[in-house]
Each structure stands twice: as structure tokens, then as C-alpha cells.
Amino acid sequence: MELLNPDHWVDKYADYLYNYTIVRVNDPIVAQDLISETFLAGLKSKNNFKGEATERTWLISILKRKIIDYYRKRSSKKGRTEVHISYKDEGSEGDWLEENAADPFDKNAQDKMENEELGLAILECLDKLSEKQAAIFRKKTIENQDTDAICKEYNITPSNLWVIIHRARKSLIECLEKNWFN
């Protein structure tokens, strides 16, 4: 029967839980928050631990529920139209009506040009990554290739693959912030 040792959870499981979470939520801040919530929930419910599973498996099961809850909250907010009311312009009566709200999917020429420029900037930033990192990033995120196939091709573990992709994303964000957003 396994016993819980919450004092060592962060040292023993934080990296594993992060790798597990980042591929599911694709946001480092959200991933860190979910892991913190998992540890907190584990502490609160440690008396319910029966020892039938390992500590890590038990924490993963808590984390899975946290991820599901995160997506439930997020999807319940989808579909709501933000309505902006302008009280300054007297001639804009009715701007607050939902049918008059701007359609975020209505692309004009300016949007298309910016998307093309962003695409070129992303490609330039991809070229600045190491050859292996760029290839793995392209295969997984752009070409949507199978994780196992990529791991076999590069002789890496799935965990290592996700670390490479996470680092590539960070590098791309930094590159885009320097070269495109400014």
C-alpha cells in the first residue's frame, strides 16, 4: 500500500505533470495553474487516498479532472457575443445590438495582408531554430504527424518531444515579439 508524501510532490512530479498538461492546454500559465490546483486538491483530499494506485497516478487522475473542468469553463464562455456600447456618439444608436456587433471572422484585405506577413515572419523565425527542433515542430504542429512516428524517427521519448516543442514555441514567441509585433 502506497503512502502519500506531499512534501516531495513538487520535486518528484511537477515536471511530469507539466509535460502532461502543456500538450493538452498549450498554455504555460494555464498549465502551471492547473498543476497548482492539482497539488492543492491532492492536499485537501489526501485522506481519501486508498493506496491502490501510485502517488503519481493519483495526482494524474486529479489533474485530468482539472483539465476537463478548465475546458468546460472555457467552452461555456464560447458563443457569447461581446457587445460594446458607445455613449459618446449620439448618431450610433443601436450599436449595442448583437446583430450590429462586428464579426471577428469577417476578413478584409488588411487582415489578409497581416496574416500573410505573420506567416512569413513565422517561417523566418522557424529558420532560426535548430534544424532538429524546427523539423520536429513542423512535423507535429504543422503537419500533425503522429507522436510515436516522430519519436521513432528521432529516437526520442514522447516527453522529450513535448519539451522540444515547448521550447520551440517559446523561441518562436520571442522571435515574433522581436521581429513582428514591434
> What's the domain count of the chain?
2
Domain that holds residue 144: 107-181
With respect to residue 92, please indicate whether it lies within any of the assigned structural domains.
Answer: no
- The answer, yes or no, to whether residue 98 has pLDDT greater than 70, is no
Q: Please list the alpha-helical segments (H only) found in 26-143.
A: 28-44, 55-77, 109-127, 131-137
| 8 Å CB contact between 85 and 96 | yes
CATH of the domain at 47: 1.10.1740
| Tens digit of each residue's pLDDT (9 = 90 or more) over 117-143 | 777 777 888 889 999 999 998 888 878
Domain shared by 117 and 64, yes or no? no
User: Where is the domain boundary, 53, 76, 99?
Assistant: 76
- The answer, yes or no, to whether residue 97 has pLDDT greater than 50, is no
When pLDDT is averaged across residues 147-153 and rounded to a whole number, the result is 92
The answer to whether the pTM exceeds 0.85 is: no
The C-alpha atoms of residue 167 and residue 145 are separated, in whole angstroms, by 18
